[in-house]
Amino acid sequence: MARRSEPQVRGPRRIPRARMLPTAVTRRTSLVVCRVATVVRRVLSSAVAESRLNLQQHAILCCLEESGPCGQADMARWLGFDQSDTSMFLDGLFSQWLVFIDLDERDQRRQVLRISDAGREMLGQIEARIDRVELELLQAFSAAERSDLHLAVTRLLTYANHVAAQPVKSVTPAAPSAPSVGSDVAKNAAVGGVSGGRRLG
């Protein structure tokens, strides 16, 4: 006698990730930018982590390489970092001898941060890694499109920082209107036992 095979149970149909976001998200540029930023940050963080650093520490190395020696408070303001967070990021850079503290040449009473030769070498390695990741992320775009995209997001960043610096305007929510006689709310209230101000038994 032939053995009866067990019926195959199908699991839930897999939905492509690109289709998982609701239309209310994908039709708003600001929300799409947030999603892109989340994905890109995850990929770049992984690339920078190969050097036992994070994106904030990479930004500090870039800052010191570009501006030269500067104070911790000045650098934190430039990068938009909290002072306590900056100290934590610097501890990791100090431990790898990528940054060191020196006296300001113009004011011997003031301490400044300097990038070391090892820090410059590490920065070059990270930059090369980020360049490769960026090419992979933007390989669907032509060189002209990449240039236009860079100009657009840089402009967006500048304006977004300006908007974020403005005081938040409070919006008073409008009072809910009373349901009309034929509305679903009124019908549900009647069915629930409220009619003419007297509860039905």
CATH number at residue 59: 1.10.10.10
Q: Is residue 75 part of a domain?
A: yes
Q: Are residues 60 and 117 in the same domain?
A: yes
Q: Is residue 101 part of a domain?
A: yes
Q: Are residues 97 and 84 in the same domain?
A: yes
Q: Is residue 60 part of a domain?
A: yes
Mean pLDDT of the chain: 81
Per-residue model confidence (pLDDT) at position 184: 58
Q: Are residues 30 and 88 in the same domain?
A: no
Q: Are residues 78 and 34 in the same domain?
A: no
Q: Is residue 78 part of a domain?
A: yes
Q: Is residue 38 part of a domain?
A: yes
Dist CA 90 CA 131 (whole Å): 24
Output 24 or 128, whichever has higher pLDDT. 128
Q: Is residue 136 part of a domain?
A: no
Q: Residue for token digits 């600001």?
A: 30
Per-residue model confidence (pLDDT) at position 4: 52
* pTM, full prediction: 0.69
Dist CA 182 CA 161 (whole Å): 49
- Domain carrying residue 27: 21-50
Q: Are residues 58 and 26 in the same domain?
A: no
Percent of the chain with pLDDT over 90: 52
Q: Is residue 193 part of a domain?
A: no
70: which strand partners?
113
CA dihedral (33, 35, 41, 44) positive or negative: negative
Per-residue model confidence (pLDDT) at position 3: 54
| Radius of gyration of the chain measured on its C-alpha atoms | 29
Element (H, E) at 79: helix 72-79
CA dihedral (71, 84, 63, 116) positive or negative: positive
Q: How many domains is the chain partitioned into structurally?
A: 2
Q: Name which of 116-125, 145-154, 189-198 the model is least confident about.
A: 189-198
- Residue ending a domain, choose from 123, 154, 177: 123
Question: What is the rounded average pLDDT of the residues 56-65?
Answer: 96
Q: pLDDT tier at 194 (50, 70, 90 boundaries)? A: very low
Per-residue model confidence (pLDDT) at position 91: 94
At 201, the amino acid letter reads: G
- Residue ending a domain, choose from 123, 152, 180: 123
Residue-wise pLDDT for 132-148, tens only, equals 999 999 999 999 999 99
Q: pLDDT tier at 44 (50, 70, 90 boundaries)? A: very high
Per-residue model confidence (pLDDT) at position 110: 85
Question: What is the rounded average pLDDT of the residues 88-106?
Answer: 91
Output 128 or 177, whichever has higher pLDDT. 128
Q: Is residue 43 part of a domain?
A: yes
Q: Are residues 37 and 66 in the same domain?
A: no
